[in-house]
Amino acid sequence: MTAPTLRARLTLVYGTLFFAAGLTLLGVTYLLFNQQLQQKTVSIIVRGQGPGSLERDTAMNWMKQQETLLRGAATTSLLTQGAIALVVVGGAASGVGWVVAGRVLTPLRRVTETARRIAAAPVAERGLHERIALNGPPDEVKELADTFDTMVERLDHSFDGQRRFVANASHELRTPLTLNRALVELAMHRRTASADVKQLGESLLEINARHERLISGLLLLARAEHEIGDRSPVDLADVVSHVVAQAAAEAAESKVTLEEAAGPAPTSGDAMLLERLVHNLVENGIRHNIDDGTGWVRTVSRIAHDGRVEVEVSNTGAPVPPYEIPALFQPFRRLGPDRVVTAKSAGLGLSIVRSIALAHGGDVSARPREGGGLIVTATLPRQGSAHH
């Protein structure tokens, strides 16, 4: 059972107070009326007493009877008419209270709607550009709205600063990594380099390459966190065919079979980011697969039943517990042996996929495949559909 709204509770309080005051007023009026009527009756009876004839007694009895009837009729009329008037006026007062409560609570409703839009934003920091900007007298509600705007503005600046820091730090780290790679390669290719030096150089180059992939992933992640403004038509079928052709060499090296079912899937957005989305899904399927030569990765693009477009990538591999899947979309989260320092994956693949999908107004989900592996589905708005 849902609790009544604040507006309904205020209306109930207004109505209850009005009816209580009305009943009190009606009761006091009845008591005063009854007391006044009794005083008039006593004074009439007193004036009629004294020596007199039998006719006078008969007349007084008749007057008392008439007074009793009159008092009963007046009392009934007072209570009946008063109750009807109380119900009518009380209903009108409750209606007015409902309207007044609605007007009073309108600013609070704006605060609630803004907070709900921020909470419902696909990525939390993307909804922080919302502001209430309430106009009105400097009362408690205005103070609440201004405080809320100040809090959201500070959070927005904090997230913007965090993204700028990641982008700037990634750019700054590229130069020393490039220099390290050049120095290691120079040392490895010297004529006097021993086998141990060459082996050490290979290990250092592998670690350096992983760091370069990590930095590239951080830059792409920082870019994908922003809403896509300049959109162009993109058919995901073309993207899937291009990415599968590019990944053929890596798949052959890993003894993984690539399967493709590129159906029409028209959408709009940044073509480079959408290519990265599909590439990361296919690459993830190749790298997290079985190595006995029977593994496969299947990539499908299609129009979904709800009118949106989908890219689905499924692959064979080790069984993945369902409770581990949400963590795979977090940065730097990997499973099993890929947690080691020299792993090929930087732990950003699926988090980049999720950020790109959200930036295009879509979403991504994953579920375990029966027999092992994953089925990852990225859903995007169809070209020409409304985007929010």
Listed in sequence order, the DSSP H helices in 121-235 are 140-188, 195-224
Identify the bridge partners of residue 315 per DSSP, sorted by sequence position: 297
State how far the Cα of 305 lies from the Cα of 104, in Å rounded to an integer: 44
The answer, yes or no, to whether residue 38 has pLDDT greater than 90, is no
Residue 307 φ/ψ, nearest 5 degrees? 95, -15
What average pLDDT does the segment 44-61 reach?
Answer: 58
Assess whether pLDDT exceeds 80 at residue 151.
Answer: yes
Distance of alpha carbon 173 from alpha carbon 335, whole angstroms: 27
β-pair partners for 269: 232
Please compute Rg for the chain using Cα positions: 40
Grade residue 346 by pLDDT with cuts at 50, 70 and 90: low
Strand, coil or helix: what is 377? Answer: strand
Q: What is the mean pLDDT of residues 319-338?
A: 75
- Separation between Cα atoms, residue 365 and residue 354, nearest integer Å: 9
Query: What per-residue confidence (pLDDT) applies to 132?
Result: 78
365 three-class SS: strand
pLDDT at 306: 86
Asked whether 317 and 374 are in contact (CB, 8 A), the reply is yes
CB 119 within 8 A of CB 127: yes
pLDDT in tens, 224-282: 655 566 688 999 999 999 999 999 999 999 999 999 999 999 999 888 889 889 999 99
CA distance 108 to 251: 57
Residue in 279, 282, 281, 275 with CA at minimum distance from that of residue 232: 275
Q: What is the mean pLDDT of the chain?
A: 78
Whether the full predicted model's pTM is greater than 0.75, yes or no, is: no
Going by the DSSP 8-state scheme, the letter that residue 336 receives in this structure is G
What confidence score (pLDDT) does residue 272 get? Answer: 83
Tens digits of per-residue pLDDT, 15-31? 777 777 777 776 777 67
| Phi–psi pair at 209, nearest 5 degrees | -65, -40
Q: Order of strands, edge to edge, in the sheet holding 295-303?
A: 256-262, 295-303, 309-315, 374-380, 363-368
Amino acid at 171: H
- At 88, list the tokens: 């009518």
